[in-house]
Structure 1
């Protein structure tokens, strides 16, 4: 099952086991079960602290559990955890075997103190780059708290269950049989939802913080760069972010980050977070800004009611996926309307889908999906595609792709439970048409996360924060950087440079403000 190189690496990892572990297989007569058994045999042969038994009683087959000998498994993998989930498997083995997790002690204590029984099921696809974060978070919770169980379910292998639960997006998490959430979730977010008193405690702690010299709002590439540059000046620096890493966490392949041949969003975010935490930066995660109040000391009011004060502020709130804003879109989001072809594409194997948008993202999505689904219809508003010529050439070579230009999307149709089609208007003839399908992937660009700033900071017609060459906004002491601003090109490396610029601009402002007139 595993090649020699992977076995060598895995053997080295398993040397970190501090106590014996047991793999408990629940198999059937299928070919996938034999493939899974081969994987488990390979793992057991790599360490004398790992044993395998095949008398598991899990209802999902093929599957296996990970446990200490003599205990019932609290971690289960229904499917073969390869691809992006191989890391989830390794961490489950190590953490069950006593290897300490890289999580703040406060979070560990919070997990151990959770009362009750929590049976989590996470539906994933092996090509999903957001799924492992959720699986790994829930697996760790199962290791730390005897009342928690975590089961990873490969949607491609258990299609009947996917159809029964009407799952059309991954990761989708069920708790005690009821839907708990969709999309990427950090362990802190999950625990906060289970611990009813955590929000109030966080608000109280934040409200008690002293005034910052620089407060960065947003934890993506721009915010991370701004925080590092500010902290290196030796001034009191804080970062308040709804989700550290921002949109980059949802980015699959990154191949244009200079000096790094290729990487993935979550890996880059982990490196950014590690770099920021090397300095004395106060990172306040899972906090959404609600209002900016200008003044000699600028105030940032959070949704939880807490207020932070700072001598200068850097806004780096990034952007989000632009939606079509047509009837039916919100009703069928995650029920056929999707935004990540890498994550959700495998759930539409053999089905008909549409891609909205003819830029590079849209055409790349159509090309990727064409290898999975039965047919792709690409709808573009303009009369020409905007994607690079090489991508258009590849797209046009695919037999199961139809390109429709001059198409104005007017409605997402459905049967109350899932998408059944999409309506569009031919902008040339004026005719209204319906395409019957099961999935829609929206790839029409980004919208800046600046709604909360309207009426306070000057914005462009597109809602972007207007800045000058130093990142200064229309409000004294308030700077901005990244995809939420009028910078013409929305790229990770440009956002980082803009974050550094805004930080230096803020530092210059602080120096000049401290000198008496």
Structure 2
């Protein structure tokens, strides 16, 4: 199952196991079971601390458990954890086998202290780059707390379950048989959702933090670059981010990042976060900014209010809140999101195998999505508002060569139709004739660009009609001491490499502002301080 090179690498990892584990396989006569058996036999042969046991009693076949011998600690995979999930398998073997996690001691202790019995089921697809974060987080929790159980299920292999539970997006997580979450979630997010007092405790901790010289809001490429450049100046730097990595986490292949011929979004996001943590930067994850309060006077502190009720202050602030997928904003879209309306063809495409889908958008993203989906689904209809596609010519040639793709231009999507539980079709208006038409289908993939995450800044700072933060050549906004960078700004060409450059520039501009501005506290007359 595994080639010689991969076996050598895996053996080096498995040498770190300190406690004996069992691989308990539940198999049938299928080809997938034979593949699984081959994989497990390979793993068994690489460590004397691993024992393979066949004929487990689990109802899902093929599946296997990784159990710590003599304990209740274990995790289960239903399906072959290859592709993006192979790392999840390796980490599960190590963690169940006693190898310590690199997560913070505080977070690990919080997991151990969770009170309750939690049985998680995660449905994933092997092409989903968002799924491993969820699978790995829940596996780690299972390895730390025996009252937490987790099974990771390949939705493409257990299609009947997917249909019964009406799962139309991955990752989808059930807790104790009830829907718990959909989409990418990190370990901190999952724990915070289970530990109801965590938000209040974190807010109290934030309230005690001293002002920063540079406070970065947002943890994408621009925010990471800004934090690194600020920290390298030796000044007190903080980062408040809703999710570190931002939109990069939802990006599949990255092939235009200079000096790196190919990488994937989650891998790049992890590298960004680690690089930031190499410096003395105070990183505050799971923090949503809700308001920006300008300084009362020149040199005063700028305040950023957070959703948890706390506030952060800084002598300068760099806004790098990025962007998110633009929605169609038509009836039915919100109601059937993750029930047939999707935004990530790489993640959710395998769930629509053999079905009819539409792709909305004729730019590069839309055409690439249609090409990818055409190899999975029965039929793709690409719908473009303009009179012609806007994608690169090479992509259009590939698209038009596919036999199961139709292209409709000059079409405005007007409504998503569903039966109460899932998508069954969409309506669009022919912009030439004005005629309304309907297409029967099971999935809709929306690929119509991005919208900046700046709603919380309205009224506080100058924005364009499109919601972009207005910046000058130095990244300065309409408020002195407040800078901005990345996809949330007016800087053209929303690219990772550009966002990083703009983040670095904003940090250098912020430092220049600091050395040229006397803080209010330092400029107060001595007589006033004596009087106080």
- State the TM-score, normalizing by the size of structure 1: 0.99
Compute the displacement of 1:66 (Å).
0.1
What residue in structure 1 maps to residue 323 of structure 2?
A: 319
1:61 paired with 2:65, answer no
What residue in structure 1 maps to residue 457 of structure 2?
A: 453
Equivalent residue in structure 2 for 1:426, among 427, 430, 434 = 430
What residue in structure 2 maps to residue 399 of structure 1?
A: 403
Q: Is the 8 A contact 2:73 2:146 kept in 1?
A: no
Output the CA distance in 2 between the equivalents of 1:12 and 1:512: 54
What residue in structure 1 maps to residue 179 of structure 2?
A: 179
Equivalent residue in structure 1 for 2:472, among 462, 468, 472 = 468
User: What secondary structure, in the 3-state scheme, does the structure 1 residue paired with 2:492 have?
Assistant: coil
User: What secondary structure, in the 3-state scheme, does the structure 2 residue paired with 1:142 have?
Assistant: helix
What residue in structure 1 maps to residue 359 of structure 2?
A: 355
What residue in structure 1 maps to residue 528 of structure 2?
A: none
Compute the displacement of 1:330 (Å).
0.2
Compute the displacement of 1:69 (Å).
2.1
Compute the displacement of 1:71 (Å).
3.9
Compute the displacement of 1:73 (Å).
5.8
What residue in structure 2 maps to residue 16 of structure 1?
A: 16
Deviation per CA, 1:86-132, whole angstroms, max 9, x where unpaired? 11000000111111111111110000000110000000000001101
What residue in structure 1 maps to residue 286 of structure 2?
A: 286
Compute the displacement of 1:201 (Å).
0.4
What residue in structure 2 maps to residue 345 of structure 1?
A: 349
**Structure 1: tracts of 5 or more residues without a match:** none
Greater shift, 235-244 or 506-515, is seen at 506-515
Equivalences for residues 10-409 of structure 1 within 5 A: 10-72=10-72, 74-295=74-295, 296-409=300-413
User: What secondary structure, in the 3-state scheme, does the structure 1 residue paired with 2:233 have?
Assistant: coil
Output the CA distance in 2 between the equivalents of 1:230 and 1:14: 39
Q: Is the 8 A contact 2:72 2:146 kept in 1?
A: no
Output the CA distance in 2 between the equivalents of 1:493 and 1:356: 27
Calculate the aligned-residue CA RMSD, in Å.
Answer: 1.1
User: What secondary structure, in the 3-state scheme, does the structure 2 residue paired with 1:311 have?
Assistant: strand
Q: Is the 8 A contact 1:65 1:73 kept in 2?
A: no
1:496 paired with 2:500, answer yes
Q: Is the 8 A contact 1:74 1:148 kept in 2?
A: no
Q: Is the 8 A contact 2:155 2:162 kept in 1?
A: yes
Output the CA distance in 2 between the equivalents of 1:236 and 1:4: 49
**Structure 2: tracts of 5 or more residues without a match:** 525-532
- Number of corresponding residues: 517
Deviation per CA, 1:278-302, whole angstroms, max 9, x where unpaired? 1111111100000000012100000
Q: Is the 8 A contact 2:74 2:96 kept in 1?
A: no
Deviation per CA, 1:24-76, whole angstroms, max 9, x where unpaired? 00111222111111111111011111110013111211100001224456300
